[in-house]
Structure 1
Amino acid sequence: MALSRRDALKMYGLGSLSLVASPSLFGFPKMQKVGTRIIPSSGEQLPIVGIGTWQTFDVGNSTHDLAVLKQVLNEIKKYGGSVIDSSPMYGSSEAVVGQLTNSPDFEKAFFYATKVWTSGKAAGIDQMNDSFKKMQRTTMDLMQIHNLVDWQTHVKTLKAWKEEGKIRYWGLTHYVDSAHDRLEKIIRQEKPDFVQFNYSIRSRNAEKSLFETCQRNKTATIINQPYESGSLFGLVKGKTLPEWCQAYDINSWGQYFLKFILSNKAVNCVIPGTSKPHHAIDNMGAGYGSLPDAKGRDRMFAHLKSL
């Protein structure tokens, strides 16, 4: 019988936060490593599940919270995730990421991404340099223009920094459907390495043309809002996963939502946010095993709609 996310976590004794090593919620003999997809502009392989830091990593100097988040990153690393996405908009998150990853074991284990979120060339440069310091990086894997704020100015700086080797990739971000048309126009014009935007099982506006535009222009995609700020879990509270989910190695509702997203081959990486080690493990499970085909996607969508 398929388990709900809560039941699965309880079964493994992960119903509450713990700093001890946690067992895996998955184990698929047919795939021993997390799935990866190619970054079109370089050919580099990128793991398909990472982590976002909005709200969840904004913990300041709390000793307890920092210890828990260290375990979160341990689990992400253990199961093959690499993308850590942050922003100066996210309070202390950048500094927390820098503090937690300042060790030989972590320094090169992750794909570090953050954003510029201000207006003006000088202000943008100052803010990005501050992000380098907070995240304790000499090179940033990905620098993004947050919500397209003053993008015409920052894109020039980012292109120059990529040429200089200060950043490896540059990109754009937004989180609402109404910004998708603007994203497409800029993608066609500027050819960014990455674009980050919202997409989920119920919020599928990006399927109209944004994904196609990204593919045509060799722009990798990072997906935010995969759980619609957690509202998707409210729809399935108290509901048991259907038996046919086993065919797609879906062991929780979280994996149900993530695997729907990842079954779209135009998605390079999804970045669910969490501050809980057991949820980090569960999220990483979506990067393992089978993914739904077109019929499976339709079935998943119809089932959720029927609840």
Structure 2
Amino acid sequence: MNKRPFGRPDWKVREIGFGAWAIGGSWGNVSEQDAEATLHAALDAGVSFLDTADVYGSGRSERLIARVLKERGQGDVIVATKAGRQLNPHVAEAYTAEALMRFVEGSLERLQTEALDLVQLHCPPTEVYYRPEVFEALDRMVEAGKLKHYGVSVEKVEEAIKALEYPIASVQIIYNLFRQRPAELFFRLARERQVAVIARVPLASGLLTGKLRVDSQFAPDDHRAFNRHGEAFDVGETFSGVPFKVGLQAVEEMRAVVGDMPMAQFALRWILMNEAVSVVIPGARNPEQAVSNAQAAELPALSVDQMEAAKAIYDRLIRLHVHQRW
């Protein structure tokens, strides 16, 4: 798998990473045995970047990662975690130095490490990006050796652009066939500032696997069942904010563009066509999904015709629902 530079840190990461939300929680039941097998499969396939968060399964995802990496003795894997969503209420003024230190200490314990590779503010309220004291607190934690680098995970392009004013290492943002706006301006600005881009929700919560149907059923604890309208968190995290039936229609039209390759691999390869992306982090619930995701990096570059056709479907069916919202 190809490696890409990860912004200002002297890191090279393989371009397909692993998003560890699904093995933590909110995606239906995944046993610990299946979760560990999925992590092993991803790492065996060459993945070198794992993305997690302290709230994924209330720490379960971080603990699973620590256990698997300890078992493998693999010290060359970068683990990025996130902090902030434990706050209740989740408001800007709650992002204090004391709260962030508490979250970092918890992740250090669960990940069984002396210094976190990368801590990302976990989709904080927009006002946080206008509070320099929050980022100064993170600077002090770097100086204290608690973490090596920090970044942000954002909901909106505007938040991503504002975050570039701070000495961040990375921005994690939703970027996929159904969320194309980040490539218009933000990607260029990130490259100019040598800030890594982590592309999350690359398969639009499974829509872009091509396997969902209008009658697909989801477990009660799967966010695709309980967050269709943003009941629990930003609706853009579920199906990328695209109305389910509209997304299904777009996927059906995309099949003619995809050709013989699996839809999910096409969607991941489409993301990798943009050199501003440092790593894309698809999730997986079983080893087969993890391996298939990693194999997307081996596909040849998409053709101009495929790229233009995908853009046309986005413009006609999807843009109206998402483009200016995020």
Task: Please report the TM-score for the alignment, with normalisation by the length of structure 1.
Answer: 0.76
CA displacement, residues 149-205 of structure 1 (integer Å, 9 cap, x when unaligned): 545343112223334443222101123xxx211220221x11311000001112111
1:52 maps onto 2:19 in alignment: yes
Indicate if the aligned counterparts of 2:104 and 2:146 stay in contact, CA closer than 8 A: no
Q: Distance in 2 between matches of 1:172 and 1:50?
A: 17
Q: Counterpart of 1:84 in structure 2: which amino acid?
A: L
1:81 maps onto 2:47 in alignment: yes
Q: Distance in 2 between matches of 1:238 and 1:208?
A: 26
Indicate if the aligned counterparts of 2:254 and 2:310 stay in contact, CA closer than 8 A: no
1:136 deviates by 1.4
1:54 deviates by 1.7
1:278 deviates by 0.4
SS at match of 2:113: coil
1:240 deviates by 9.7
1:134-173 to 2 correspondence within 5 Å? 134-149=110-125, 150=128, 152=131, 153-173=133-153
Q: Distance in 2 between matches of 1:240 and 1:223?
A: 21
Match of 1:127 among 72, 91, 103: 103
Q: What is the percentage of aligned positions where both structures have the same residue? A: 21
CA displacement, residues 90-132 of structure 1 (integer Å, 9 cap, x when unaligned): 22222222233322x2441421010120421111101111011
Q: Distance in 2 between matches of 1:94 and 1:154?
A: 23
Are the structure 2 counterparts of residues 195 and 274 from structure 1 closer, same or farther at C-alpha, using a change threshold of 3 Å?
same
1:63-78 to 2 correspondence within 5 Å? 65-78=31-44
Indicate if the aligned counterparts of 1:52 and 1:274 stay in contact, CA closer than 8 A: yes
1:222 maps onto 2:198 in alignment: yes
1:304 deviates by 7.8
In the alignment, structure 1 segments of 5+ residues that lack a partner are: 1-33
SS at match of 1:46: strand
Moved more, 80-89 or 147-156: 147-156
Are the structure 2 counterparts of residues 243 and 85 from structure 1 closer, same or farther at C-alpha, using a change threshold of 3 Å?
closer
Q: Which residue of 1 aligns with 2:160?
A: 183
SS at match of 1:221: strand
Are the structure 2 counterparts of residues 306 and 126 from structure 1 closer, same or farther at C-alpha, using a change threshold of 3 Å?
closer
Q: Which residue of 1 aligns with 2:64?
A: 96
In the alignment, structure 2 segments of 5+ residues that lack a partner are: 88-94, 213-247, 318-326
SS at match of 2:205: coil
Q: Counterpart of 2:154 in structure 1: which amino acid?
A: H
Q: Distance in 2 between matches of 1:44 and 1:293?
A: 30
Are the structure 2 counterparts of residues 155 and 293 from structure 1 closer, same or farther at C-alpha, using a change threshold of 3 Å?
farther
Q: Which residue of 1 aligns with 2:276?
A: 266
Aligned residue pairs: how many? 262
CA displacement, residues 269-297 of structure 1 (integer Å, 9 cap, x when unaligned): 11111111100011001122322254442
For the aligned residues, what is the CA RMSD? 2.7
Moved more, 148-157 or 236-245: 236-245
Q: Distance in 2 between matches of 1:169 and 1:276?
A: 30
Indicate if the aligned counterparts of 1:58 and 1:96 stay in contact, CA closer than 8 A: no
Q: Distance in 2 between matches of 1:85 and 1:244?
A: 28
Are the structure 2 counterparts of residues 238 and 277 from structure 1 closer, same or farther at C-alpha, using a change threshold of 3 Å?
farther
1:110 maps onto 2:86 in alignment: no
Q: Counterpart of 2:168 in structure 1: which amino acid?
A: P
Task: Please report the TM-score for the alignment, with normalisation by the length of structure 2.
Answer: 0.72
Q: Which residue of 2 aligns with 1:7?
A: none
Indicate if the aligned counterparts of 1:66 and 1:100 stay in contact, CA closer than 8 A: no
Q: Counterpart of 2:20 in structure 1: which amino acid?
A: T
1:214-253 to 2 correspondence within 5 Å? 214-232=190-208, 233=210, 234=212, 235=248, 242=256, 245=259, 251-253=261-263
Q: Counterpart of 2:6 in structure 1: which amino acid?
A: I
Are the structure 2 counterparts of residues 238 and 300 from structure 1 closer, same or farther at C-alpha, using a change threshold of 3 Å?
closer
CA displacement, residues 212-234 of structure 1 (integer Å, 9 cap, x when unaligned): 11111110000111111222334
